[in-house]
Amino acid sequence: MRLLGTCVLVIALATATAAEATVPPKNCGIHKVGSRKYQIKADQIKCSKAVPAAKAYLRSRKVPRGFRCRSFTGSKMTFRCSKRVQVFFAIRR
């Protein structure tokens, strides 16, 4: 009986640890907008959706539906847009 309780505890701890694993944002590559190059990254969103949205934001500050964007000055990070857990951003290169 005691062995069964120990096994359940070990399985519960292993499951909890796996669920809390942190995954870094995907690198969607370096893209040129105007005369500048930007590295675009995305988290919980496909690069095929993040890249056009990032380029539109960099060109005309057009914010995708449902997202909130913030621009940064004095930093390599140009902007960051988020919608709950979905995030994409650009780093000036």
Would 88 be classed as within a structural domain?
Answer: yes
Would 14 be classed as within a structural domain?
Answer: no
What are the pLDDT digits (tens) for 43-85? 999 999 999 999 999 999 999 999 999 999 999 999 999 999 9
Tell me the residue range of the domain where 50 lies: 23-92
Would 87 be classed as within a structural domain?
Answer: yes
Would 4 be classed as within a structural domain?
Answer: no
Would 6 be classed as within a structural domain?
Answer: no
Count how many domains the chain has: 1
Would 15 be classed as within a structural domain?
Answer: no
Would 10 be classed as within a structural domain?
Answer: no
- Stated pTM of the model: 0.76
Question: What are the beta bridge partners of residue 40?
Answer: 90
